[in-house]
């Protein structure tokens, strides 16, 4: 009886999130076009109620990320135990993440070259800007991969947790999990502690999700009440290039690999994963989406042993949507400034944007920051970024939805390949009621 009730509630939540998203967009658009600025509109609603509820909700989700990732990663690693298997999953996941990102940029560069955004704008760099671009290009060649790798090892694990440094947290949690598996009975109480903490965090995720429809509504209404469609139309080719490439990545790359590599029905996958995409869209943060993504994947039959590792890793190093925006932005700015790009430049962009994706944190707007690294690598003027800033918020929302879908698709494939995928559960029409395992 209780289970049936719980089931109904969960199915209801998914629908509610979608209606909230739609209602938020409609409310925001109406406010922007039809409600004149006033104390009530701006101070009471947009910066008052919408801001408070929307951001309160994001903070609630962020509050869960570090303890949830740590506890679920320790318990996940501990239960796999076998370091060889873990290593294999790890290497393959990273390889897939890199591959899908490189494909994403290639699609973006291809589509943008066809659409040719920015053509005819004829902007000119002054001599100082050109000199800056050349100097930056030289400096960016020096970014040390060794240092980046070195920084994955935490000097102080407590500080890593406090700062929410995801790669360091992943590193230390895996070591703790492996050692606890080796310690066996000597670590029983620690194992129980982490398992219970993990269950607690999952229940807390469901608790915070209870306010999701309100949070999503307020976040989206606030964003759309400040952005008019004119600005999107004025940059139509750029926006079209980004959105078109995001759709191609989702429908062809993810659905293709799910079917061909994983043997997983991509339609069922996308249908069940849609609420997570909606959540990522409204928050524009892959990090804040981690708890919901792990939980939803579990309800889809993907074992947490895999997802607790690959989802937070993906939220940190795998940003296909972000890479797509960067690819289209490169072509747009090169066209706007009449700077020809060679084949070598295209390859350089693919390589740097793949690396930039590793360095992009899963929080709003960071993709714009790492874009300067990509521009520098081919000597494009960083000032060009200013042109796309005004419309970036909406594109940030859309690309974050794709970022989290890429992580989830590869997670499902990894789970399937390693016998950690419950097909029956995946095929069930409705999500099973959550049990904490």
Kindly list the residues in this chain that would bind ligand ASP in the complex (CB under 6 A).
Answer: 284-286, 319, 322, 360, 362-367, 396, 399-400, 403
Taking CB positions, which residue lies at the least distance from ligand ASP?
367
Smallest separation (angstroms) from ligand ASP to the CB of 153:
24
The answer to whether 336 and 387 are in contact (CB under 8 A) is yes
Is the Cβ of residue 103 or residue 395 nearer to ligand ASP in the bound state? 395
Is the Cβ of residue 181 or residue 235 nearer to ligand ASP in the bound state? 235
Per 3-state DSSP, what percentage of the chain is helix, strand, and coil (rounded to 5)?
Answer: 80, 0, 20
Backbone angles phi, psi at 210, to 5 degrees: -60, -30
Backbone angles phi, psi at 419, to 5 degrees: 55, 40
**Rounded to whole angstroms, what are the CA distances from 132 to 112, 138, 154, 205?**
26, 10, 35, 47
SS3 354: helix
Is the Cβ of residue 157 or residue 367 nearer to ligand ASP in the bound state? 367
Smallest separation (angstroms) from ligand ASP to the CB of 106:
18
For 114-180, the three-class secondary structure string (H helix, E strand, C coil) is: HHCCCCCCCCCCCHHHHHHHHHHHHHHCCCCHHHHHHCCCCCCHHHHHHHCCHHHHHHHHHHHHHHH
Smallest separation (angstroms) from ligand ASP to the CB of 57:
16
| Displacement of CA 356 from its chain's centroid (Å) | 14
Alpha-carbon distance of 19 to 303, in angstroms, equals 29
Smallest separation (angstroms) from ligand ASP to the CB of 134:
27
Smallest separation (angstroms) from ligand ASP to the CB of 367:
3
Is the Cβ of residue 180 or residue 323 nearer to ligand ASP in the bound state? 323
**Which H or E run contains 109?**
helix 83-115
Smallest separation (angstroms) from ligand ASP to the CB of 396:
5
Alpha-carbon distance of 75 to 198, in angstroms, equals 8
The answer to whether 361 and 287 are in contact (CB under 8 A) is yes
Phi-psi map region of 153: left, alpha, beta (phi>0 left; psi -120 to 50 alpha): beta
Smallest separation (angstroms) from ligand ASP to the CB of 215:
16
Is the Cβ of residue 360 or residue 376 nearer to ligand ASP in the bound state? 360
SS3 302: strand
The answer to whether 283 and 405 are in contact (CB under 8 A) is no
Is the Cβ of residue 65 or residue 366 nearer to ligand ASP in the bound state? 366
Alpha-carbon distance of 191 to 186, in angstroms, equals 10
Smallest separation (angstroms) from ligand ASP to the CB of 286:
3
Smallest separation (angstroms) from ligand ASP to the CB of 385:
12
Is the Cβ of residue 345 or residue 396 nearer to ligand ASP in the bound state? 396
Is the Cβ of residue 188 or residue 365 nearer to ligand ASP in the bound state? 365
Is the Cβ of residue 284 or residue 297 nearer to ligand ASP in the bound state? 284
Smallest separation (angstroms) from ligand ASP to the CB of 64:
16
Q: 421 pairs with which residues across the strands? A: 302
Alpha-carbon distance of 406 to 160, in angstroms, equals 26
């Amino acid at each position: 009886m209780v289970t049936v009730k719980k089931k109904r509630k969960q199915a209801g939540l998914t629908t509610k999130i979608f209606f909230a998203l739609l209602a938020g967009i409609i409310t925001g658009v109406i406010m922007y076009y039809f409600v004149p600025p006033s104390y009530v509109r701006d101070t009471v609603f947009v910066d008052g109620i919408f801001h408070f509820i929307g951001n309160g909700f994001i903070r609630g989700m962020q509050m869960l990320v570090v303890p949830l990732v740590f506890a679920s990663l320790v318990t996940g690693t501990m239960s796999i135990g076998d370091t060889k298997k873990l290593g294999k999953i790890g290497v393959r996941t990273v390889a897939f993440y890199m591959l899908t990102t490189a494909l994403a940029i290639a699609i973006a560069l291809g589509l943008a070259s066809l659409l040719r955004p920015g053509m005819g704008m004829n902007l000119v760099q002054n001599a100082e800007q050109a000199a800056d671009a050349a100097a930056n290009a030289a400096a960016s060649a020096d970014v040390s991969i060794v240092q980046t790798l070195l920084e994955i090892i935490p000097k102080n694990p407590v500080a890593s947790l406090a700062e929410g440094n995801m790669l360091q947290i992943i590193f230390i949690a895996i070591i703790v999990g492996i050692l606890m598996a080796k310690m066996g009975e000597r670590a029983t109480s620690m194992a129980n502690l982490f398992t219970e903490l993990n269950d607690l965090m999952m229940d807390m995720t469901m608790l915070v999700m209870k306010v999701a429809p309100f949070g999503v509504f307020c976040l989206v209404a606030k964003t759309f009440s400040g952005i008019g469609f004119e600005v999107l139309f004025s940059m139509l080719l750029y926006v079209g290039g980004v959105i078109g490439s995001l759709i191609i990545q989702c429908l062809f790359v993810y659905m293709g690999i799910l079917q061909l590599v994983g043997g997983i029905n991509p339609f069922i996958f996308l249908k069940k994963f849609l609420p997570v995409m909606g959540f990522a869209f409204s928050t524009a943060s892959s990090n804040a989406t981690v708890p919901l993504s792990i939980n939803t994947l579990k309800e889809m039959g993907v074992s947490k042993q895999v997802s607790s590792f690959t989802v937070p890793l993906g939220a940190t190093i795998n940003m296909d949507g972000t890479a797509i925006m960067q690819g289209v932005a490169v072509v747009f700015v090169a066209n706007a400034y009449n700077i020809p790009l060679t084949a070598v430049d295209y390859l350089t962009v693919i390589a740097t944007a793949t690396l930039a994706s590793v360095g992009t944190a899963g929080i709003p707007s960071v993709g714009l920051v790492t874009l300067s690294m990509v521009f520098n690598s081919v000597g494009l003027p960083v000032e060009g970024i200013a042109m796309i800033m005004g419309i970036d918020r909406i594109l940030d929302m859309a690309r974050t939805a794709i970022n989290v879908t890429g992580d989830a698709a590869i997670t499902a494939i990894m789970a399937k390949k390693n016998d950690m995928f419950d097909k029956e559960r995946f095929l069930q029409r409705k999500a099973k009621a959550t049990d904490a395992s």
